[in-house]
Structure 1
Amino acid sequence: MFLKRCGRHFLCSSRTLSLVSRAHIPKDVDAYSDVQSESAGRQTSSLQLSLPVVIVHGLLGSKTNWNVVASSMSTKIRQKVYAVDTRNHGESPHSEIMNYEVMADDIVEFIRHKRYDRVSLIGHSMGGKAVMTVALRDPDVVEKLVVVDASPTYSKRGEELKFLLEAMQQLDVSRIFSKTQADEILREDVPNDMIRNFLLTNLVRSRGTGRFHWKCNLSILYKSLPTMFDFPQLNSTFTGKTMFIGGARSGVIGDEQKGDIKRLFPSAEITTLDTGHWVHAEKPEEFTQIVVRFLTR
């Protein structure tokens, strides 16, 4: 991909951006409908139904997981929607520091770099905890908040995620010659097709050598799991408009978690869809409909 250096900025294209600085600004894909232009996303228009939206993926995910939903959402709200890669994921820089405070810093820096005063934030799982941290620490930049299958509590999915990372680390990618081969080997430990295909989105070929490698920073993510399972202790609340969308079959947002949600996010609405953990992927149309209704009212 052609890179253009401009000061500290490395622009990959009109739709992809990265900034090398102390804060790791995630690369982004802006998804927007034909009624939007690059400049229109930063201006008030009678056509626009909400402020710009930034979407943050979960652990081992990437911006590409949200392409379909982001495009549909952008068309419906007539506004810019950004799906970003967090540090140690996708195209964003790798870092030995991985916690929700620095991830929140990255997101705020991204918003400022895009020259927005306020945006609506959507985050799934790990991304949900990251956007909650932004809202609690920097509420002035958040118009509305949508948290998808995450809560401000210790995650019950810890052992499952640890097992998945271990399965990925045990795959000897130096001996892999195709994704089909990788899929067959990984199937022994991860028989669920949807989860296995999700993990394999991180397996890519190097342009120089043609060899496969994991795009995400597996070693740091594994080391950081205890921090990722937990949630920062913040003595603040976010009183802005907030929606929590849980997967009814995931068990992430249950009666136990609702007390903590209401304590930190007193205006929160809590709803569920008949899905597992990947709510937006399992029922994209229903999910998009709920979020669009929330963002535009």
Structure 2
Amino acid sequence: MFIQQQKLKKCVLIGHSMGAKAAMTVALQSPESVSALIPVDNAPLNATLKNANKILEDYEESLPIRQFLLTNLVRSDDEHKTLKFRVPLSVIGDSLDNMADFPFSESDGVQYDGPTLFGRGTKSKYATDATIPAIKRFFPNAQIADVEAGHWLISEKPEDFRQVNHHPNFRSINSIANNMI
């Protein structure tokens, strides 16, 4: 794991969307490596392809999606310097069924008891009130912080997101993060 390879002792993990699922997975698999967890706009659930497609339909024409796609474009090494996707679309297409998976089920009984702050966009469909029971089962010390934004809350409302992460109610996470700097 990257944390051990870099000889890090305890980390504050923050991840957005699929990165949130990755951060949650690390916290559940190796809690001794994580001092605090900040998943942003995702929940510890498996989402079906049908649900993922419904969510994506709402964002298909949006600027953030276009920006995301643009960040995955690179110039080819040949003399034509054409643009291509960093991750081939065929790979993404072949992986769609598994993209929304979460490697744990609630019946596994695994938990991360450290300080956890779930940031979520109030206009997003990923971390809704319906996901809070699952969040609490996996992360019993989780606190929920809402930002008036969609799924891309960090880029839509960066100052609001920063303020949520420095709110006095989340002192345990802030003190851990400040002591690591």
Query: Which of 158, 171, 175 matches 1:284?
Result: 158
Change (3 A) 1:190 1:249: closer
Alignment of 1:158 onto 2:52: yes
Deviation at 1:117, TM superposition (A): 1.2
Structure 2 length normalisation: TM-score? 0.81
Alignment of 1:273 onto 2:166: no
Alignment of 1:124 onto 2:2: no
Give the unaligned 5+ runs of structure 2: 176-181
Change (3 A) 1:273 1:255: same
Residue 197 of structure 1 aligns to which amino acid in structure 2? Q
CA RMSD after TM alignment = 2.3
Alpha-carbon distance in structure 1 between the residues aligned to 2:25 and 2:174: 23
Structure 1 length normalisation: TM-score? 0.51
CA contact (8 A) 2:64 2:152 kept: no
Query: Which of 216, 222, 230 matches 2:93?
Result: 222
Change (3 A) 1:133 1:111: same
Alignment correspondent of 1:262: 136
Alignment of 1:195 onto 2:87: no
Identical amino acids, percent of aligned pairs: 39
Change (3 A) 1:242 1:190: closer
Alpha-carbon distance in structure 2 between the residues aligned to 1:162 and 1:217: 19
> Residues 60-90 of structure 1, C-alpha deviation per residue, up to 9 Å, x if partnerless?
xxxxxxxxxxxxxxxxxxxxxxxxxxxxxxx
Residue 17 of structure 2 aligns to which amino acid in structure 1? S
Residue 251 of structure 1 aligns to which amino acid in structure 2? K
Alpha-carbon distance in structure 1 between the residues aligned to 2:56 and 2:156: 22
> Residues 229-260 of structure 1, C-alpha deviation per residue, up to 9 Å, x if partnerless?
12122521000000101110012222211000
CA contact (8 A) 1:238 1:264 kept: yes
CA contact (8 A) 1:204 1:213 kept: yes
Change (3 A) 1:217 1:140: farther
Give the unaligned 5+ runs of structure 1: 1-108, 165-188
Alignment correspondent of 1:244: 118
Residue 84 of structure 2 aligns to which amino acid in structure 1? H
**Structure with the larger RCO, 1 or 2 (CA within 8 Å, 6+ apart):** 2
Alpha-carbon distance in structure 2 between the residues aligned to 1:155 and 1:162: 12
